[in-house]
Structure formats: C-alpha cells, structure tokens
Amino acid sequence: MRICLVCLTFLVSSTVLSQATTYDFPNPVDTNDKKITLQEKKTYEQNGLFVDNQFDGARLNALRFENDSTLTIQIDPENFPINRSPWYAFRMWTTTGLSKRVSITIDYFENIKHRYWPKKSTDRKTWTKLEETSVSVANDTLSVTFSVNVASDTTWISAQPLETSGDVRAWSMEVAKHSLGSFEVIGKSRMDRDLLHFKLGRGPKTVVLISRQHPPEVTGYYALKSFVSRIADDSKLSRSFLDEYTVLIYPLLNPDGVDLGHWRHNTGGVDLNRDWAYYRQSEIKQIANHIVKTVKESNSEVAAGLDFHSTYYDVYYTTSRSVETKYQNFTDEWLNYVKSNIADYKINDQPSGLGSPVSKGWFVTQFNIPGITYEIGDDTPPDFIEKKGKISAEAMMKVLLDSN
C-alpha cells in the first residue's frame, strides 16, 4: 500500500493548526487531576419533615435534626484547597398537611466564611432573598442561621438561583432559533454531560463569549444572557453587527460542577480558569480546540473575547494596555461607552498583564487580542445586571462596527 507523504503531512499540519497552542504563562498552575469527594445523595426525614439533595445543583453534605423544627446542615467542598465560594442548595417539604416554621443553621467546612445570602423558591423559577429579620450570620461569619416556612409544596433553598445544565441548554436552544443562529453539542464533560455551543451571525470576523467555569457564579451567567439578548434582538444595530461578525457562545464550561453543586472545580478537582495553558482538563481542551478550529476553518479573525464571572462586586479584569495587541483601543472605547450610557456609573477597571493561565490571557496568547473578564457582584440587583449587560453588548457592537 502506497502512502502519500505530502497528503499525510498536510493532514497532520491541518490537525495541528486546528488545535489551541500551548503557552508558558509567567505564573504556572498545576492543573493535573486532584481527587474529589462526591456528596452522598440522600433524603432526610423526621416526623413528617423532609429535606433532600437529590436534584441537579444540590449541595448538602450532612444534616442533623436538633428537634422537629431545628436543623443543622454541613456544607463541604468537593476538595481542598479551594476558593471560598461555599455553595449550598437543598429542598424541603412536609407530609403533615400543616405549614411549619423551620430553623436552619449552615456550618461550613474548616472555617470557611459564609458568602451567599440564602434565597428561596417554590417553583424553582422565581427566587427571593430571605428577609433580613429571618437571617442571622454568626459574628465570626463561619455559619448562618435562618428560618423559613415549609409546607407540603416543595420549598427550595439555595445560595443563588439554580441554573443547571438543563436550564442552560433550554436557554441556548431558544436563542439559537434566531434566523442567524445554530446550536450544537461540541463534546462531553468528564461525566458525559454535554458541552454546549451556539452561534449567532454570518460575518467574516468573530467574537467569543464564555461562561460558568465556576459553578456558583450565576450572576455572571445572567450577565451573559442579557448581553446575548441585545446581540440577538433584531434591531438595526444587531442586524448590521451579525452581518459583519459571527458570535461563538459557550455558556457552560463546567456542567459537571454545576449539576454536582461544586464550589469551584470540575470533577478533575481543578479550577478550569487556570487551565488555559496546557489544557489538561478535557472540558477546556475541547472548547479551546473548538474555538480555534472554527476560526481556522472560516478563515476568520477574532476581534473580542469575553469571559463572564461573578465575585463580591462588579469589576472588569482587563488586559494591561502595555500589552500590545490587535484592537488595542477596543477595551477603553468599550468601557467609555458603557460609562457614558449608565447614569452615575463608575467603571471598576482592573487591568493586568499575562500572569496565571486564565481565559483572559488566553485570548491574548492565542489571537493577539485583549481579553476581558466580565465580573458581576454576588448581590448585584437583577435589573442592573440586565441593563448593564445590554448596554455592554451595544457598546461592543458599536465599537467593533466602527473599527471595520
């Protein structure tokens, strides 16, 4: 059998060119697998009061009934050390036919401090923060106690509204019904959950949006949803933009962590937003390669890359202006537009150069463009998240169209 060496060389070269390249960041991070401990899925019951964690997004590691209406719950991370983002989510109901006032204390792993104000729902769609009068955070902030009414209808308690892989999939498929949209599954997580991707537009240049590397960061995901809704709203600006640009959206990079109720990591026990150098975790490897492959196949140029997260307050982590890139002025022009279109809004811009192997730096090393980490506060009001998300998307479209 004859082998065409020229053809073989071409095929190998094409494959390599379609893969994300590695980069030695100044501050490397070990992203090899770390052992995790899975929570036990269980229903707890005493005298007609039930509590469980048997649903996607749940986190409840142990429960003790102090009496018929007082509970102590233990919340542990998937492994340690870990970012202090103690996620919890559980549901409660009674079979007595009577409403009951229940007092709940949450204790956190190894002196981890309370972070997320408890929220409740009876339909898993509408969430409300518990009243301040019903919540007491310990002086050392190592635990929180609150009380809720529990009846035969299920009451959900969670650190943030539940947005599981199923919820993200439903939203993605709905947006992808746009006349210039498409949806696909581009791979699988370590536990065989779908890695989702959808795109909007038909333009020769590309914008990349990613989200949910860290499971509890729901407000950042809401910012992404608002951002995308403005791009897809069929306004004159939107139509012009989607004729010139294609938007690649990866809304859920860590589906295992989200559905398992993790604090931070994937099932490899790793912070995925430290794996953008050597792609040791399969989720980042598949998504990074898909972005590069898509751009190469369409002979496109990436113009902007944004990664949506949550932290304690609103902040933009941007690329230092001393780093020379294409679209060098994009960040300043974008932020100036946002500032000028939100009354009394002060931009919290924290630029930095290449340090740890995070997505922001990956956009620089991979495409020579400034990367941006779009952070929303844990408690930023939903209406402001939506407003800022839409104005931010509008700013991006206008700035990039003006740069053509």
Per-residue pLDDT tens over the stretch 338-366: 999 999 999 999 999 999 999 999 999 99
b or e along 54-93 (b: 16 or more beta carbons within 10 Å of the residue's beta carbon)? Answer: ebbbbbbbebeeeeebebbbebbbbbeebbebbbbbbbbb
| Pairwise CA distance, residues 256 & 123, whole Å | 23
Query: 18: pLDDT confidence band, cut at 50, 70 and 90?
Result: confident
Say yes or no: 235 and 326 in one domain. Answer: yes
Cα–Cα distance list, 86 to 41, 59, 75, 107 (Å): 18, 9, 7, 10
DSSP three-state, residue 391:
helix
Q: Is 366 domain-assigned?
A: yes
Per-residue pLDDT tens over the stretch 115-141: 999 999 999 999 999 999 999 999 999
Say yes or no: 68 and 181 in one domain. Answer: no
Q: Is 28 domain-assigned?
A: no
Q: Is 69 domain-assigned?
A: yes
Say yes or no: 306 and 356 in one domain. Answer: yes
pLDDT at 9 over 70: no
Over the chain, what is the mean pLDDT?
Answer: 95
Q: At 368, which CATH number?
A: 3.40.630.10
pLDDT at 12 over 60: no
| Pairwise CA distance, residues 31 & 213, whole Å | 14
Boundaries of domain holding 84: 43-158
Q: What percent of the chain has pLDDT over 90?
A: 94
> Could you tell me which of 193, 197, 201, 199 has the C-alpha nearest to residue 211?
197
Cα–Cα distance list, 89 to 57, 162, 183, 383 (Å): 7, 8, 30, 24
pLDDT of residue 59: 98
Say yes or no: 63 and 142 in one domain. Answer: yes
Say yes or no: 221 and 370 in one domain. Answer: yes
pLDDT at 76 over 90: yes
Cα–Cα distance list, 109 to 86, 116, 147, 280, 348 (Å): 8, 15, 21, 28, 32
* Pairing relationship of beta strands 70-75 and 100-108 according to DSSP bridges: parallel
Rounded to two decimals, what is the model's pTM? 0.95
Say yes or no: 71 and 171 in one domain. Answer: no
Q: Is 112 domain-assigned?
A: yes
CB 29: neighbour CB atoms within 10 A? Answer: 17
* Pairing relationship of beta strands 135-137 and 315-318 according to DSSP bridges: unpaired
| Pairwise CA distance, residues 207 & 301, whole Å | 9
Q: Is 264 domain-assigned?
A: yes
Which of 104, 136, 158 corresponds to the end of one domain? 158
Beta-bridge partner residues of 64: 72
pLDDT at 7 over 70: no
> Could you tell me which of 205, 284, 275 has the C-alpha nearest to residue 252?
284
Q: Which amino acid is residue 60, in one-letter code? A: L
pLDDT at 288 over 60: yes
Per-residue pLDDT tens over the stretch 302-335: 999 999 999 999 999 999 999 999 999 999 999 9
Per-residue pLDDT tens over the stretch 151-188: 999 999 999 999 999 999 999 999 999 999 999 999 99
Say yes or no: 111 and 62 in one domain. Answer: yes
Which of 136, 158, 180 corresponds to the end of one domain? 158
What six digits make up the tokens of 219?
């407000």
Overall number of domains in the chain: 2
Say yes or no: 237 and 286 in one domain. Answer: yes
Q: Is 364 domain-assigned?
A: yes
| Pairwise CA distance, residues 123 & 343, whole Å | 35
Region 223-227 average pLDDT: 98
Q: At 71, which CATH number?
A: 2.60.40.3120
Which of 132, 158, 184 corresponds to the end of one domain? 158
Say yes or no: 274 and 374 in one domain. Answer: yes
| Pairwise CA distance, residues 227 & 205, whole Å | 18
What six digits make up the tokens of 272?
């995925």
CB 194: neighbour CB atoms within 10 A? Answer: 17
Report which secondary-structure segment, H or E, holds 2. Answer: none
Region 75-87 average pLDDT: 98
What are the start-end ranges of the H helices in 275-350? Answer: 282-297, 330-340
Say yes or no: 107 and 122 in one domain. Answer: yes
Say yes or no: 352 and 217 in one domain. Answer: yes
Q: Is 356 domain-assigned?
A: yes
Say yes or no: 112 and 179 in one domain. Answer: no
pLDDT of residue 17: 61
pLDDT of residue 1: 36
Q: Is 14 domain-assigned?
A: no
pLDDT of residue 404: 84
Question: Which residue's entry shows tokens 């931009």?
Answer: 347
